[in-house]
Amino acid sequence: MPMRIKRSLKSFPIVHIAYELLPHPSSMINPLMKSKVDIKSITDWDFYPTYEAYVDMMYQFASDYPDLCEVFSVGQSVEGREILFARISDNVGLEEGEAQFLYTATMHGDETAGFVLFLRLIDYLLSNYGSDEQVTRLVQNLDIWINPAANPDGTYAAGNNTVNGATRYNANWVDLNRNYPDPQDGPHPDGNEWQAETIVFMNLAENNHFTMAANVHGGAEVVNYPWDTWPQLHADDVWWQFVSREYADTVHVYAPAYYMNMFNNGITNGYQWYTTNGNRQDYMNYFHQCREFILEISDDKLLPASQLPAHWEYNYRSFLNYMEQALYGFNGTVTDSESGLPVRAQVFIENHDTDSSMVFSDPSTGKYFRPIYEGAYTLIVSASGYQSDTITQMTIENRQSKTMDSELVYTGAGLGENNNLHLFEVRPNPGNGIFLLISQTAEKISGTIEITSMNGSIVYQNDATFDAGDNSRLIDLRNQAKGFYLLRFNSHEGVFTKKITLQ
């Protein structure tokens, strides 16, 4: 876009049009920066940290609260900056089968409000644990992951000492929120290869089991819920409106009348606002069955540092309330009836789920979490080689949690009974044509992916190698008819088979 504008300006003198070229908005702000920060001495949070100060602040959280917080890098940006997460729980680092919750910000590097607000949220959760009832409940019952700077190269485009000059894009001038596989437009909807930052987050999603998430932006003030890529509504559209309305209504109690009051008084369906392809919200919802929305919290992209405390006051209660929604709805543990071991199973709501809105139990714990709007539902729990378990007419209220465990009886029937590569899975399944075959092991495995229709015709065939740094393959079946297909991955180590459903 900038290059197109410049070429157009060259023609203005020819047609005698006077113009003034204004500076980029981010260059007009001289934000207060701090290079040395002691978290425990912060009072107003009215500054931006340098990159080195940001890294130091993150690791100070872990050193100050070692029983509640661990901090680590999940990978590096194009220019080698760390993509850092704070992981918070009352037994941090232990697998307790809790719902995982994900917050990230600054995916667009010049949309900086969420950067400092999420640093402050980490501090708020840690410093108020044990004294604030809601914070204590969240830390005790969730596995919380917070990433304040998802695109550090964009935020520090002008150097590590300032966010002045921050850019939307990463160092390769790619919009990271158009760079994800899209359920409608395929693996590379923007025409670019997956960027380093995109791959980091895709691997994060594949190696975890996030129940809910939010991706924080700026440039508007609205809660944007899925879908963005296509016009049909999400199966849980009523629930999405409910939690989005809760977020915005809580904001309205504590913010000026002009804040977050546009669109439908602060909330919008993404496609009805404007359609985008390849964003992380749709990727997480469709391919990982994670309930993620986009949160726009500031009309100003590069928010003046002096306004950060006010935006915290407007939003922090809603941050907490949204996290708490991950505790509500149906939950339970799926196990093998004989051994009691966990089973990875699909939990499907009859006459409700569509477009990959079902959820799966975690293969290591058997736990599943299914946020849902109040009503009466029939749950079908199924896994390859097992007899399905149907749980009929289960009623639930909003802000209620109901546990529904399931013991599946192994029958040995059905596709997948001869699998000897158990550490593979297909997401989503059922799907609309774009599937991910994911390896759950760090071991290097090479083989051939082959997909056949139920009449035996081969509709897809490709060689693939999986290892720790490249553990998934995207399969595009959008040109095939709806129905059932058999996926086989043949390797020297064994054969993985799975029935997949194209909706």
Maximal C-alpha separation, the chain:
84
pLDDT value for 440 = 74
pLDDT value for 466 = 87
Distance CA 25, CA 124 (A): 31
User: For residue 142, what are its two tokens?
Assistant: 């969730």
Kindly give, in sequence order, each residue whose CB lies less than 8 Å from that of residue 403, ignoring residues fewer than 6 positions away: 330, 331, 332
The whole-number average pLDDT for the span 276-292 is 96
pLDDT at 28 over 70: no
List, for residues 33-83, the tens digit of each pLDDT value.
999 999 999 989 999 999 999 999 999 999 999 999 999 999 999 999 999
pLDDT at 3 over 60: no
The whole-number average pLDDT for the span 181-187 is 91
The question of whether 206 is a catalytic residue gets the answer: no
List, for residues 200-236, the tens digit of each pLDDT value.
999 999 889 999 999 999 999 999 999 999 999 999 9
* pLDDT classification of 486: cutoffs 50, 70, 90: confident
Q: What percent of the chain has pLDDT over 70?
A: 90
pLDDT at 416 over 50: no
pLDDT value for 502 = 87
The helix or strand, by DSSP H or E, that contains position 282, with its residue range, turns out to be helix 280-288
pTM > 0.95: yes or no = no
Kindly give, in sequence order, each residue whose CB lies less than 8 Å from that of residue 212, ignoring residues fewer than 6 positions away: 99, 101, 102, 290, 291, 292, 322, 323, 325, 326, 371
Amino acid at 122: I
pLDDT at 4 over 50: no
pLDDT at 285 over 80: yes
Tally of CB atoms within 10 A around 388: 16
* pLDDT classification of 429: cutoffs 50, 70, 90: confident
Mean pLDDT of the chain: 90
User: For residue 189, what are its two tokens?
Assistant: 């909807």
Q: Which of 333, 318, 395, 406 is nearest to 365 (CA)?
A: 333
pLDDT value for 438 = 87
pLDDT value for 389 = 94
Catalytic residue selected from 197, 246, 296, 425: 296
Question: Radius of gyration of the chain from Cα atoms?
Answer: 23
The whole-number average pLDDT for the span 123-135 is 98
Amino acid at 169: Y
List, for residues 329-384, the tens digit of each pLDDT value.
999 999 999 888 898 889 999 999 999 999 999 988 999 999 999 999 999 998 87
How far is CA 252 from each of CA 7, 261, 300, 311, rounded to the nearest angstrom? 43, 8, 18, 12
* pLDDT classification of 412: cutoffs 50, 70, 90: low
Lowest mean pLDDT among 21-30, 384-393, 421-430: 21-30
Would residue 344 be called left, alpha or beta, if left means φ above 0 and alpha means ψ between -120 and 50 degrees?
beta
